[in-house]
Amino acid sequence: MLIRLFVTHNKKLLGHLPSVMATRQSSDMAKFNETLKSAKNIVFLSGAGISAESGIPTFRGAGGMWRKYRAAALATPEAFGTTPSLVWEFYHYRREVAAKAEPNPGHLAIAKFEKNNPDKTVTVITQNVDGLHARAGTKNLLELHGNLYKTRCTKCKEVLVNTDSPICEALANRGAPDVDQVGSDIPVRNLPHCKKSGCKGLLRPHIVWFGESLEAAVLDKAESVMSSCDVCLVVGTSSVVYPAAMFAPQAAARGAIVAEFNLKPTPATPDFHYYFEGPCGMTLPKVLSE
């Protein structure tokens, strides 16, 4: 079953998209590299798979558990409204894991490709929230689902970068994925709060949760980039979370060349022209350095 993450925009993005592939997808790296050389507008669309190679849990499928909770059940405004301390423990854990992770050869190859091709428009659209693309050196970056190191005030709505570790004293040494740990006993008053004078509202992670819409400006930019790209590289994404799941198939349907880099085929693989199987950290450097 497809996970409809952003209800507001599903109807806009869904529709009948016939498969554009009449033959088996190519795995010819040299041929695809020639396509890259002639392209002017290139998009990398990345997902959890590339970050998994840096040791970051994907929280998808059978392994998508934190403690006894399904991660997707905690990533909702309803969960935060009911148990904000539990949700903050989950995101504190994720922040600490991501802070210790390093960009892998896949992240670095993408950043290097952008730097070495100033004559091309290269954009990275990521579903990841860990900040590894930016740390690798990517400049033209759209983070569809937000960022672990940004907070948003639930009262005044101010968004700020926050890389503190821990983000507040009450969360120090909390958030371990201990399956025997149930709930959270941290008082709400001790959770992160807005420091703006006269506000003091409860802060939340600046993450797009299930049931919420993407930021309009980010979505509009992503759609604009996808509508004009010559080539799209789909990197480590399951192609099941909307609206990003429709970006590459729509690009292929209008004639853009799309290549998928994944450990295994996805529901969208038949829509694409190229498929390169294996870890992104191995396949991307080979393709982008040809």
Active site residue 145: yes
> Do 249 and 42 touch, CB atoms closer than 8 A?
no
Closest among 206, 201, 178 to 191, alpha carbons compared: 201
Q: Catalytic residue, from 92, 145, 193, 273: name it.
A: 145
Query: Residue 25's Cα: distance from chain center in Å?
Result: 25
d(CA 287, CA 38): 14
Residues noted as catalytic: 145
